Amino acid sequence: MTRRLSYAVPLEWEGAAVKDFAKKRLGFSAHVLAQQKRAEGGILLNGVPVFTTALLKAGDMLSFCLPLPEGTYPPERLPFSVLFETEDFLVVHKPAGMPVHPSPGHDRDSLLNGAAYYYQAKGALCPLLCPLYRLDRDTSGAIALGKHTLAVSGTALEKTYFALCQGTLSGRGTIDVPIGLEEGSKIKRQCGSGQRAVTHWEALESGGGHTLLAVRLETGRTHQIRAHFSYMGYPLAGDDLYGGSHALIGRQALHCGVLHMKSVALDMDRTFAAGFPPDMKEAFPWLPEVGGIIKSEKGRCKCQPA
């Protein structure tokens, strides 16, 4: 399977080399461009194969051929909902309790196994899907899967997470504290040493001794939100690994509720909202609808990186 992308060269790019147009205008990575150079018919200019040093003229038609390798994960019927699909992406709402990738002990119950069944059930070949980011097994919400290398490397993402912390917080803030693996643990993270980690948050509503937070990540460290709020003395409800209580919910109350995706090369500029799952709504019946939290058509909440 392949996916051919074609672009008309605008006037302002006349005289530019193919490689510069691909990288600077379309967002191709060096890896994706090298992939095109190696493929037969990978780069065509007005239907003729060219090198990446070829110069463009306004009105030229430039096209690239992306391979779509077939997926190999065993299909399993699993509960998740599809939010959106194109030739380039599959965006889904992942439930809590489902890992994204197969792993020891979870070789047939991952999201990628469920996606394989989704394609099998509609009689289609399953592409080799690659998540554009990861969600912990017990974190719910929106996640995007790319069908080829350009979808993965050439897409800008903005994610807003919603977290329920124990305790009452107000206002907004930034946590800029490094995170590293806790000594003696293979899983748990500790704050104060390791890699830089920056978390921006805003308190949205409070109820029953808990606060709903909108959270944006400037960095993407493992367990960053969970570790940072535990460090601040406000662990997430249900997150017993970081000091949270199971009194109301049996897993960390963390949900990726808003996802904005933008790719010039793939004509993508959309926002997706994933509503709170039943366990969070049951534990915290005062939660608003996710759609009511979104502050603009781009899915940006008030919480913004400084």
Strand partners, 9: none
- Amino acid identity of residue 75, one-letter, is P
Token reading at 184: 């003696």
C-alpha–C-alpha distance, residues 50 and 241, integer Å: 55
Pairing, β 89-94 against β 140-146: antiparallel
Contacts (Cβ under 8 Å, ≥6 apart) of 139: 96, 252, 254, 255, 256
Catalytic residue among 20, 109, 136, 176: 136
List the one residue out of 140, 160, 157 whose CA is nearest residue 255: 140
**Is 136 annotated as catalytic?**
yes
**274 within 8 A of 260, measured Cβ to Cβ:** no
Contacts (Cβ under 8 Å, ≥6 apart) of 211: 164, 165, 167, 168, 169, 170, 203, 204, 205, 234
Residue pointed to by tokens 């019927």: 77
- Amino acid identity of residue 245, one-letter, is S
Token reading at 83: 């939010």
C-alpha–C-alpha distance, residues 306 and 295, integer Å: 17
Token reading at 212: 């709903």
Token reading at 122: 């509609």
Strand partners, 145: 90, 131
The set of catalytic residues is: 136
